[in-house]
Amino acid sequence: MGEAGVLTTNSKPCRRPVLLAAVLAVVLVGSFFVAEAAADEMTTTTMSGGKGDRGGGRKRRRRSSRRRAEAAAAPLMVPITVLKSAADAGAVCMDGTSPAYHLDPGSGAGNNSWIVNLEGGGWCNNVRACQFRKTSRRGSSDLMEKEIPFGGIMSSSPADNPDFYNWNRVKIRYCDGASFAGEGFDKENGFYFRGQRIWDAVIRHLLSVGMASADQALLTGCSAGGLAVILHCDEFQDFFPRTTAGGGRATTVKCLADAGLFLDAVDVSGGRSLRSYYSDIVAMQGVAPNLPPACTARLDATSCFFPQNVIDGIKTPIFLLNAAYDVWQIQESLAPNGADPGGAWRACKSNRSACDASQMKFLQDFRDQMVASVRGFSGSGSNGLFINSCFAHCQSELPATWSNAAGGSPAIQNKGIARSVGDWYFGRAEVKAIDCPYPCDGTCRHII
């Protein structure tokens, strides 16, 4: 990889004081990396798993058997590459270390196709939160795992991932705290906010080692990485020539944002907790100049960090995969502790079966808001959509939710997530799938 060095020493991942990682690990031990990414975003909430849907002991035993089988399947472990030359351009993690990625090369028919996955893992909005992040793998490449598992859409298994298993698959590590969009330096605290530079430097490096000649390219990411996909989708397209010398299309470029549809929603106290949080991130990390200009030409910068205000202006084909009852948003946007000081929502947001009628009505209204937010987006024939009625967060990188081969992907009208994404990407079928409201869907892999 030229100037980049591959690190092979072992290190232990940082622990997080959140129980969601444990809940997700029960669903799939082999995909701990994605589970921890979701957990890292829930930095203020303690979760306890519910007992699941009604269905009796037999259903629970079947799920337990599936989980044991899934846990036994060893995932592909992919080593880290630290891009040392990126530091010359100021493209550094929050602590000043060089950015990093993991690459599993393609083979056969997929040798000239690329998936670029933007890692998720929350944000930081103040000195205390950024200091914590700076001293973790979310802010320093020195503290990152030296190899990570590739699962779901990143899997090398043709059974689990039939459409993309033999592509070049890259995960760009997340170490800036603003969805790869910040630009600034806090000299007093030693924080480098260089997400936009990291994005640019790593993509240019990948182009230099083969991606520039790609026949097909797909930008993906979940959670904060899913938001990054939405913010950078058209930029990704712009890295590739749109036509060949003969006038044909040079590279088919598309984007997939998983669990990135964060809504500017009213919380249970009548406030807008997530808007306040996002406003702090945008201001602290200098995000405004790097937001999509089609949005900032008409709205303030904080509004343009919300996907609902960006998606209609994206020109590159993009697929939105989201749970209508997104667990992170329930925990941290709709019913965060600050908006629920009396704890009235504590049981509900940890166990959907504990929600009373008024709470479920509130969640159904949130689902309706999500559906309304994609109405214009879904009108484009080039876009894809899969909004299921699950209590989940990130579904493309977990084998249990990505592929039917791993035990039963959530499905809408009998079509699972992997097939839906593949049908959309390769033009086999139009995919504009919106589930009926909870609890109609019996295929979900709920995590609360």
Phi, psi of 434 (to 5 degrees): -125, 120
Give Rg (Cα) of the chain.
20
Give the active site residue among 104, 176, 326, 435: 326
Name the residue type at position 271: G
**391 alpha carbon, distance to own chain's centre:** 15
Contact between 446 and 397 (Cβ < 8 Å): no
Count Cβ atoms within 10 A of the Cβ of residue 410 and give its class: 0-12 exposed, 13-18 middle, 19 or more buried: buried
CA distance 131 to 123: 12
Q: Does residue 223 have an active-site annotation?
A: yes
CA distance 255 to 302: 23
CA distance 341 to 321: 32
CA distance 337 to 329: 13
Give the active site residue among 393, 396, 435, 446: 393
Give the active site residue among 98, 155, 223, 373: 223
Q: Does residue 326 have an active-site annotation?
A: yes
Cα–Cα separations (whole angstroms), residue 84 to 3, 26, 87, 258, 311: 7, 37, 6, 29, 34
As annotated, the active-site residues are: 223, 326, 393
